[in-house]
Amino acid sequence: MSRLWVPRRVLVTPSAIARDSGAAMVERARALGSEIVALTADRLSGLPDTYRDAKTTMAIVTASASRRRLQPIPPSADWRYDLAEGCPAHCSYCYLAGSLAGPPIVRVYANLEEILGELPAALGQGRVTSVSADRAQEGTTFECSCYTDPLAIEHLTGSLAASIAYFGAWDAAVQLRFTTKFDAVGPLLSLPHRGRTRVRFSVNALAAERHEGGAPRMAARLAALRAMAQAGYPVGLTVAPIMRVPEWAEAYDALFASVAGALEGVAGVDLTAELITHRFTPKSKDVLVSWYPGSKLEMDEAQRSRKMTKFGSVKWVFPKEQMQEMRGTIEASLKRHLPFARHLYWT
Ligand code: SF4
Interval 42-64: pLDDT, tens: 999 889 989 999 999 999 999 99
At 241, is the pLDDT very low, low, confident or very high (cuts 50, 70, 90)?
Answer: very high
Cα gap 269→277, rounded to integer Å: 25
Domain 7-180 part of CATH 3.40.50.12110: yes
| pLDDT at 287 exceeding the cut of 80 | yes
Q: Which of 5, 51, 56, 96 to mutate to test the pocket of ligand 1 (most atoms within 8 A of CB)?
A: 96
For the chain, domain boundaries: 7-180
In testing the pocket of ligand 1, which one of 100, 149, 200 has its CB within 8 Å of the most ligand atoms? 149
Spatial CA neighbour of 150 closest among 119, 114, 181, 174:
181
Tens of pLDDT, residues 191-232: 999 999 999 999 999 999 999 999 999 999 999 999 999 999
| Phi and psi, residue 52, nearest 5° | -60, -45
| CA 80 to ligand 1 center in whole angstroms | 17
pLDDT of residue 151: 98
pLDDT of residue 49: 86
pLDDT tens-digit map of 127-171: 888 888 888 888 999 999 999 999 999 999 999 999 999 999 999
Residue of 81, 72, 79 lying closest to 114 (CA atoms): 81
Cβ contact 140:129 at 8 Å: yes
The Cα 231–Cα 194 span in angstroms is: 10
Ligand 1 atom closest to Cα of 97?
8
Q: Give residue 1's pLDDT band: very low, low, confident or very high (50, 70, 90).
A: low
Per cent of the chain over pLDDT 70 is 100
- Return d(Cα 288, Cα 280) in angstroms, integer: 10
- Asked whether 334 and 258 are in contact (CB, 8 A), the reply is no
CA dihedral (184, 187, 190, 196) positive or negative: negative
CA of 101 to the centre of ligand 1 (A): 15
Nearest residue (by CA) to ligand 1, atom 8, is 94
Residue burial 137-159, b: 16+ Cβ < 10 Å; e: rest: ebbbbbbbbbbbbbbbbbbbbbb
Q: Average model confidence (pLDDT) for the chain?
A: 96
Q: Is 254 in the pocket of ligand 1 (CB under 6 A)?
A: no
Note the pLDDT of residue 283: 94
Region 182-188: mean pLDDT is: 98
Ligand 1 centre from 342 Cα, in Å?
24
pLDDT > 90 fraction of the chain, expressed in percent and rounded: 91
**Hey, how many other C-beta atoms are within 10 angstroms of the C-beta on 220?**
17
Mean pLDDT value of segment 311-326: 95
In whole angstroms, give the CA distance from residue 326 to residue 332.
10
Secondary structure (3-state) at 18: coil
Give, for ligand 1, the residue of 5, 83, 93, 94 to mutate: max count of ligand atoms closer than 8 Å to Cβ: 94
Orientation of helix 248-263 relative to helix 218-230, angle to 10°: 40
Any idea what the Cα angle at residue 299 is, between residues 294 and 301, rounded to 5°?
A: 140
pTM comes to 0.96
Task: Please confirm whether the linkage preceding 241 is cis (ω < 30° from 0).
Answer: yes
Query: In the chain, where does DSSP find H-type helix?
Result: 14-17, 20-32, 51-54, 65-68, 96-99, 112-117, 154-157, 159-169, 218-230, 248-263, 282-291, 320-337
